[in-house]
Chains A and B, each alone.
Chain A
Amino acid sequence: GQQVMQIPQYQHVQEGEDFTTYCNSSTTLSNIQWYKQRPGGHPVFLIQLVKSGEVKKQKRLTFQFGEAKKNSSLHITATQTTDVGTYFCAGFSGTYKYIFGTGTRLKVLA
């Protein structure tokens, strides 16, 4: 079945360092979404990418969707303690099913 792999599983960074998490799908996706889950919280939608090669920015966060629509990345510039949490990608292939990656847990050391 369809799988979405996400790496790394954990990342510890010093405050101010950059951070990147990557997602790879076994199949071509219609779109990909990114979610953030704060410790003790529930996933909250960040963004959706639809077009091949699309790049979107939200302040310090940059999201990319690969040309083949099978991979995506989230890059955070100059991390802050408020960025702590687990970041999930979710691939959608047009069957009402969102397949979530395993998540990357980010810890930011002040």
Chain B
Amino acid sequence: DVKVTQSSRYLVKRTGEKVFLECVQDMDHENMFWYRQDPGLGLRLIYFSYDVKMKEKGDIPEGYSVSREKKERFSLILESASTNQTSMYLCASCRAPGELFFGEGSRLTVL
């Protein structure tokens, strides 16, 4: 079974802190994605990557950056966390365009 593992299920950070969310997949997928999920807004794409060191902005990249140094790992970085970044963050991966496999999610609270 494909497994997508997110490093933290729950995080509480303070405004201005730097936050790292890590995601690892074990099925050699080329494509990886970071979404945030908010009530009533569904899943919104922050960034995606279709290859190592390649990244593309999604619909809401402001305030976020990403890193993909290895194929299996895709990290989301909040350089200076703000309260409006309190959300559920979901990582996903897929091979060619097809079924997305999601991690369990990381619920971030910024105080």
Contacts and interface: CB of A to CB of B under 8 A. Distances in A.
Interface of A: 1, 6, 9, 30-31, 33, 35, 41-45, 48, 88, 90, 92, 94, 96-103
Interface residues of B, number: 24
Contacts, number: 55
B45 interface: yes
Given A44-B102, A96-B31, A99-B45, 12 more contacts: A43-B43, A43-B90, A45-B99, A45-B101, A48-B99, A92-B97, A97-B56, A97-B58, A98-B45, A100-B42, A101-B42, A102-B42
Contact of A96 (B40, B50, B99, B102): B50
B44 interface: yes
Interface in B12-70: 31, 33, 35, 40-45, 48, 50, 56, 58-59
